[in-house]
Amino acid sequence: MQALQTPASLIQELTLDAPVSIVTLLEDRAQVRRIGKSNFTPGLWRIKVEQVAPVLSDKSLRAEFCQDYPYARIDDVRVRREMLVKEADKPDEIKALESEYWLLFKNFNNTKEDRAHLESCFEKVNAILAKGLQELPIDAIWRQIDPRTWREQVSTLFKQLRDLRVEILNSYHTQEDLSQKINDIITKANALSRPDMVYNARIEADLMIPQAGEYEIAFDYVVPNAMWRPWHQARLLRSEVPTNNSVSFSVDGCVWQRTGEDWNDVDLVFSTARSSLGTEPPLLTDDTLSVQEKSQAIVIEARDRKIQTTGTGTTQTPAPEQTPGTLDLPGVDDGGEVRTLRPGKKATIPSDGRPYRVPIFSFESAAEIEYILMPEMSCQVILKTAQTNTSQFPILAGPVDLVRTSGFVGRTEVLFIAPGENFALGWGPDSAMRVQRTQTQERKKNHLTRWNIVTTTTKLFLSNIGAESRSIKTTERVPISELEQVKVEVISDKTSNGVQPDENGFCTWNFQMEPYSQLQASLVYKISAAPEVRGI
C-alpha cells in the first residue's frame, strides 16, 4: 500500500527572514535561536531560512510557534546543505607570480653555475696544494728548497682555499633562500588556481496553517566552534587619603565563534552548564593485597602544600558552629552551580574566530592597600589590594587585566568569588624596594640522645631607595612536622622580634621602612630528628 503524498503544486513556498535573536553560549558550543514573522494564508507551506551555520547539529534542530495558534502545526523541520564551487578569475595575480617565479628561477640557476665553478676551482687549488706538499720532502733531500719561498706559496694556496670555501658556503645559503622563495610562490599560485569552495546551509520547515494571519516561528539548534570564557579588568583608583582608595572591577565575557554565520545585534546569554560532561562507571579490576614487615627506619620527605581558598572571607564573622572544619572547594568555574549571566546590551560577534569581549557587569569597592614580601617565592615587594565583591553576581574564575594610572601594568587571575566575598589582587613589584635573601644550614648530632639536629638560618636585607615610607608585611615559613620523631622549633632569641609560626608554619613581620633606609631581619629554626629517621 503506497502512502499518500501532498502534490507539490498545493504546497506554497516562502523564504522567511529569521535572523539570529538569542545565543546561549556554553563552554564549547552555543545554542542559537532564530525568530521570524510573516503573514500566511490557509494551506500547506514550506518555508526556508537561508544562510544558517553549516556545522549545526541536525538532531538539535527544532522549530516551534512563539504563540498559541489554534490548529496550526509544524509537520517537519530539517536542514539542507550544499557545496558551491566558485571559479576565481585572478589572471593578474597569477601573471605577477609567474614573472617573479621565472626571475627567481633564473637567479637560482646562475647561483648554481657559480657554485659549480667555485667548487671546481677549490678542487684544483686543493690538488695543487696536495702535490706541492708531496714534492716538499723530495726537494728537501736534494737541498733545493727555500723556506721563505715555500712558506709564501703555501700560505697563498691556503688563503685561496679559505676564500673559496667562504664563497661556496655563501652561494649554498643563497640557493637555499631562493629555493624557499620559489616553493612559496608555487604554493601561492596553486592556492590561487584552485576553485573556492563555499558551504551553504538552509533550514526547511513544513507548516499547516488553518487560517490566515501573522505567525511567529522560532528555530533552535546547537552549533560547535563557539565558546566563551570569563575575562575581567581591575582598575586601581588611588587617593591621597588612604581610606578613599578603591578598585573598579568589571566582568566581561570573551567570545570566540567560527560557525559560518555572523551574530549581528543579538542577545547573548553566558552559561556555565557543561552538557558534554558525562559519567561512566569505572572498570572493575582485581586489587591484590599483600602483607610485608614494617620497616624499623622512618623515611621522611619534605613536600609543599598549597593553602587553597577562593576568597579571603566576608566582612561578617561566622558563628562558631557555622565554621567549616574541612576545606570545601567550589566547582571549576562556577562554584558548583550552573549559572547564567546576561549582558546589559546586545552584541555583534562575527564568524572569524577572533576574541570579542562583551561587558556583563561591573562594580566599585573600597580597597585596602598594603605591601607584602614573600622572599622565599620572590625577592620583590608586591603591592596588594584587598577589596569586596559588592555586586549581586559572583566573579567566575578567570584572568584579570590590571590597570593603574599609568595604564596596563600586567595580568593576574582570580578564583570563584561569591557576592560579598573579600578577595585580593597583586599589582606588581615596588621599584623602590630592594630585597636580598640568604639561607645557611648547620648540621650536628647530639651524642647523648643520638638525635640529628639541622639548624637553618635565613637572613633578609631590605633597602628602601624611594622618597616615601613603606609598611611591609613580610612572610617566611618553617616546616611543619607530622611525626613525633621529628620536632621543629623556632629559636626566638635569634629570630627578629621573636616571632613564632602560626598553624600553617608562617612567620610574619610588619616592617616600617623609612625613606632611604635599610633593615636586616633573621629567622632561625632547628629540626630535630630521632636516630631511626632517614631523609632529614
Strand partners, 518: 463
Query: pLDDT exceeding 70 applies to what percent of the chain?
Result: 86
Query: In the block, which residue shows the cell 555586586?
Result: 391
3-state secondary structure of 375: coil
- Per-residue pLDDT at 308: 60
3-state secondary structure of 186: helix
CA–CA distance, 270 with 375 (Å, rounded to integer):
40
Average pLDDT over residues 495-520: 90
- Per-residue pLDDT at 445: 85
Residue of higher predicted confidence among 524 and 311: 524
Residue of higher predicted confidence among 337 and 324: 337
Band the pLDDT of 9: cuts 50, 70, 90: low
Average pLDDT over residues 453-476: 91
Q: Among 95-99, 170-174, 300-304, 376-380, whose mean pLDDT is lowest?
A: 300-304
- Per-residue pLDDT at 327: 35
Backbone torsions φ then ψ of 493, nearest 5 degrees = -70, -15
In this predicted model, what pLDDT tens digit does every residue of 324-333 receive, in sequence order? 343 333 334 6
Neighbours of 396 (CB within 10 A): 25
Backbone torsions φ then ψ of 190, nearest 5 degrees = -65, -40
pLDDT at 1 over 50: no
pLDDT at 344 over 50: yes
Q: Confirm if 204 and 78 have CB atoms less than 8 A apart.
A: yes
For residue 172, what is its C-alpha cell? Answer: 649554498
Nearest 5 degrees, angle CA 353-CA 356-CA 357?
Answer: 155
In this predicted model, what pLDDT tens digit does every residue of 238-262 receive, in sequence order? 887 777 889 999 999 999 999 989 9
Band the pLDDT of 313: cuts 50, 70, 90: low
- Per-residue pLDDT at 297: 67
In this predicted model, what pLDDT tens digit does every residue of 170-228 receive, in sequence order? 988 898 999 998 998 888 887 776 666 678 899 999 999 999 999 999 999 999 999 99
CA–CA distance, 504 with 506 (Å, rounded to integer):
6
CA–CA distance, 470 with 477 (Å, rounded to integer):
22
pLDDT at 347 over 70: yes
- Per-residue pLDDT at 286: 87
- Per-residue pLDDT at 76: 92
Query: pLDDT exceeding 90 applies to what percent of the chain?
Result: 40
Band the pLDDT of 36: cuts 50, 70, 90: very high
3-state secondary structure of 4: coil
For residue 295, what is its C-alpha cell? Answer: 620497616
- Per-residue pLDDT at 300: 66
Average pLDDT over residues 38-54: 92
- Please classify residue 486 by burial: count the beta carbons closer than 10 Å to its beta carbon, then call 0-12 exposed, 13-18 middle and 19+ buried: buried
CA–CA distance, 459 with 445 (Å, rounded to integer):
24
According to DSSP, the β-strands at 398-404 and 226-237 are parallel
SS (H, E, C) 445-491: ECCCCCCEEEEEEEEEEEEECCCCCEEEEEEEECCCCCCCCEEEEEC
In this predicted model, what pLDDT tens digit does every residue of 385-414 receive, in sequence order? 999 999 998 899 889 999 988 888 889 989
Residues 356-366 as b/e (b if ≥16 CB within 10 A, e otherwise) read bebebbebebe
Average pLDDT over residues 49-76: 92
- Per-residue pLDDT at 331: 33
Strand partners, 288: none
